[in-house]
């Protein structure tokens, strides 16, 4: 393992558990454990798994003006976000492209923000540069982040953090978990019920071991996290969304609340607002879609999509042979006039055309606990 890779507080525990470690976003991270990716994927769908996501960026925005300040950088409603609620958001650029996607939770004394690992330095600089004069931007490198995911996650966590069962999807609160004060949200990146647990770094190993000692829970790595999120139709930053894709092209307009849209009380006034408003009004030329492979050959990121005559229609951004769906799935950007349910296109794989069908996202029905 290269010396310059960063390590999360759970690094030694991953080795102890037999993890295969790989470089990811500058960190040494577990891609899978001895049981393998498919077993970890199924464990999440059927019971519960624990992911180490401590490589993600955690920040606090402190000050009375923090919510209004953050709204100048995202097209979502932060001002009206209620105490204890969490919301998905997007940093946009002047062209309406996506700089990163993030999660925002309102707590009593701050906004708690989680950003992607590969973007955290740039995101922190972006926040400090644009709104650092209006609120305090405080990175939290001394905290780890654990994701406990799966339909039985609540039973395992409830034993260590009584009261977490009262949370519903996209809400959070402070709980004592294994005797350690943690901020826990009922959210995740798998399409299943689950929790993300922000814990002091020095307590992360003890909490992870306590969770892994629960009968429902096994460890899982980045490999299963990727297949799970792809079945759930969730975007991976830098692949399915980036600085050249807009929220409208990416099918993320559900994240833009009415109050921030044209005609809304706090419409616009964020980077790229005019471009996004025009796309909301007039549509787009490309759209993110789901694709189901009609033959059992996986179609990977970068594959070109064509019509029956060989005319280019788009490209694949993520793809795998999906364990739950039991066939190849992909997400792709496709010309809007072809982005129609059940429409057939072809992916070019090693010089051959593989038939694929446009499918609704997500590929697997979500298991979120909405109360």
Percent of the chain with pLDDT over 90: 99
pLDDT digits (tens, 9 = 90+) for 80-118: 999 999 999 999 999 999 999 999 999 999 999 999 999
Q: Where are the domains of the chain?
A: 1-284, 285-362
pLDDT band for position 237 (50/70/90)? very high
- Give φ, ψ of 108 to 5 degrees: -60, -40
Rg (CA), the chain: 21
Residue 350: CB atoms within 10 Å: 7
DSSP assignment string, 94-110: TTS-EEEEEEEEE-SS-
pLDDT digits (tens, 9 = 90+) for 20-55: 999 999 999 999 999 999 999 999 999 999 999 999
Which CATH architecture fits 1-284? 2-Layer Sandwich (3.30)
Tell whether the model's pLDDT for residue 254 goes beyond 50: yes
> Which DSSP state fits 159?
H
pLDDT band for position 2 (50/70/90)? very low
CA distance 30 to 6: 13
Residue 24: CB atoms within 10 Å: 16
CATH of span 285-362: 2.40.30.110
pLDDT at res. 3: 60
Prediction pTM value = 0.97
Listed in sequence order, the DSSP H helices in the chain are: 11-16, 37-46, 66-71, 120-131, 153-160, 204-212, 222-231, 273-282
pLDDT digits (tens, 9 = 90+) for 272-306: 999 999 999 999 999 999 999 999 999 999 999 99
Q: In angstroms, how far is CA 325 from the centroid of its own chain?
A: 20
């Amino acid at each position: 393992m290269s010396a310059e890779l960063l390590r999360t507080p759970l690094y030694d525990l991953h080795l102890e558990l037999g993890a295969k470690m790989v470089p990811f976003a500058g960190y040494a991270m577990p891609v899978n454990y001895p049981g393998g990716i498919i077993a970890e994927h199924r464990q999440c769908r059927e019971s519960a798994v624990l992911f180490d996501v401590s490589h993600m960026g955690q920040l606090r925005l402190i000050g009375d003006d923090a919510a209004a300040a953050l709204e100048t950088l995202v097209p979502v409603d932060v001002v009206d976000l209620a105490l204890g609620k969490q919301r998905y958001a997007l940093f946009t650029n002047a062209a309406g492209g996506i700089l990163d996607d993030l999660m925002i939770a309102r707590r009593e004394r701050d906004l708690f923000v989680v950003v992607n690992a590969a973007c955290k330095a740039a995101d922190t600089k972006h926040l400090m540069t644009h709104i650092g004069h209006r609120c305090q931007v405080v990175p939290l490198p001394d905290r780890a982040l654990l994701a406990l995911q799966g339909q039985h996650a609540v039973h395992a966590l409830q034993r260590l953090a009584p009261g977490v069962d009262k949370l519903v999807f996209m809400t959070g609160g402070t709980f004592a978990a294994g005797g350690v004060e943690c901020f826990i949200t009922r959210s995740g990146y798998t399409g299943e019920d689950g929790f993300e647990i922000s814990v002091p770094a020095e307590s992360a190993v003890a909490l992870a071991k306590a969770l892994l000692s629960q009968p429902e829970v096994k460890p899982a790595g980045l490999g299963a996290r990727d297949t799970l999120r792809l079945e759930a139709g969730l975007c991976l930053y830098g692949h399915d969304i980036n600085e050249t894709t807009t929220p409208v092209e990416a099918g993320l307009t559900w994240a833009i609340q009415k109050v921030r849209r044209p005609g809304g009380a706090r419409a616009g006034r964020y980077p790229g607002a005019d471009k996004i408003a025009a796309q909301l009004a007039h549509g787009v030329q490309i759209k993110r879609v789901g694709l189901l492979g009609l033959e059992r050959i996986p179609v990977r990121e970068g594959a070109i999509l064509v019509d029956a005559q060989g005319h280019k229609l788009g490209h694949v951004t993520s793809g795998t042979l999906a364990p739950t769906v039991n066939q190849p799935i992909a997400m792709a950007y496709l010309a809007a006039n072809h982005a129609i349910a059940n429409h057939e296109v072809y992916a070019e794989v090693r010089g051959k055309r593989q038939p694929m069908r446009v499918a609704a996202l997500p590929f697997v029905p979500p298991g979120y606990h909405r109360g």
